[in-house]
Amino acid sequence: MKIAIIGAGAMGSIYGGHLSLKNEVYLIDTNEDIISSINNNGLIIEENGKSNVYRPKAVTNSEGLPEMDLVVLFVKSLYSKVALAGNKNLIGENTYLMTLQNGSGHEDILGEFVDDKHIIIGTTEDNGAVLGVGHIRRGGIGNTNIGMLVEDNEGFLLKVKDTFDCCGFNVKIHDNIQQLIWNKLFTNVSLSVVTGILQVKIGYIRSNEYAWNMTKALIHEAVEVAHKMGLEADEEKITKDVENVSIKSPEGVTSICADLGAGRKTEVDTISGSVVRAANKVGVKVPTHEFVVNMVHAMECKEK
């Protein structure tokens, strides 16, 4: 398959590196240092206690590249639109666009570039981190959950599954992919965003009664929205799951916490902001989520 991955950070490199074993893969990133390092030294991924080197083609822009079968978006979501607009020439009539970015509602931006029949949305349970330029750690490995907004008449999801599974992924195809997306969203819109605002590690959430109260209030509002959207959401179970994340990974740092700590912009608009937009559509009040969106943006703008 001819695949372009936009964003050669932690996740783009993990998917791009592995997929390059059996596919024609182009890794696209605006960071010239990353691209020249991958082209000169290969893409180095620490995984399973080993250091493996992959050799995808790496470019700073898509000029001169052919139309792709699949374009996977792995930039932080605040750059999605600009990244797709800058690489429009990769997208032809038959090109599918896929996002596994955290948060929800990404289909709105993908829909500006292809029709609903060519949009694949989902989540990944894999995770990773950038260790250096062109040097990535593949952390936990889990399922890659994918689905479409409409019937998959062309059977493309099965092709994606075959292509990805033989390169070291574990793809699951879902009829109700929004359910999977919201299952993951509950943690990010509660625990993750509170760790960001407080600038604390994941363990603090359960060990501090006030942080835990805020987290539960955010879960409660998000569950009300999910119910109105017709999704399943068992508040007690979700609260227990989030509690377990805090207890089992006390030293973990969420990406929203890391972004704010490093003075970077965050993905809050497609995380908490997506709950606010969904709430407005279904007529539920979510004042706590509105508050945290403003709080995170206010923190992004603080002078360093």
Ligand X SMILES: NC(=O)C1=CN([C@@H]2O[C@H](COP(=O)(O)OP(=O)(O)OC[C@H]3O[C@@H](n4cnc5c(N)ncnc54)[C@H](OP(=O)(O)O)[C@@H]3O)[C@@H](O)[C@H]2O)C=CC1
Q: Which of ligand KPL, ligand X, none sits in contact with 130, Cβ below 5 to 8 A by type?
A: ligand X
Residue 230 in 3-state DSSP?
Answer: coil
Whichever of 117 and 135 has its CB closer to ligand X, that residue is 135
Whichever of 113 and 212 has its CB closer to ligand X, that residue is 113
Pick one of 4, 5, 7, 163: the residue that binds ligand X (CB under 6 A): 7
Question: What's phi and psi for 35, nearest 5 deg?
Answer: -65, -45
Query: Binding string to ligand X for residues 30 to 49, with x set by CB under 6 A, is what?
Result: xx--x---------------
Question: What are the DSSP E strand ranges found in the chain?
Answer: 2-6, 24-28, 43-47, 50-54, 57-59, 70-73, 96-99, 119-124, 128-132, 135-138, 144-148, 171-173
Q: Which of ligand X, ligand KPL, none sits in contact with 254, Cβ below 5 to 8 A by type?
A: ligand KPL
Instruction: Note whether 124 binds ligand X by CB under 6 A.
Output: yes
Report, in Å, the least distance between residue 86 CB and ligand X. Answer: 6
Name residues contacting ligand KPL, limited to 126-155 (CB under 6 A).
127
Query: Binding string to ligand X for residues 189 to 208, with x set by CB under 6 A, is what?
Result: --------------------
Pick one of 82, 150, 282, 298: the residue that binds ligand X (CB under 6 A): 82
Q: Which of ligand X, ligand KPL, none sits in contact with 192, Cβ below 5 to 8 A by type?
A: ligand KPL
DSSP secondary structure letters along 155-191: -HHHHHHHHHHTTT--EEE-SSHHHHHHHHHHHIIII
Gyration radius from the chain CA atoms? 19
**β-strand partners of 196:** none
Residue span binding ligand KPL (CB under 6 A) among the ranges 5-13, 172-180, 186-194, 217-225: 186-194
Tokens of 249: 């990974």
The burial class, CB within 10 Å (0-12 / 13-18 / 19+), for 82 is: exposed
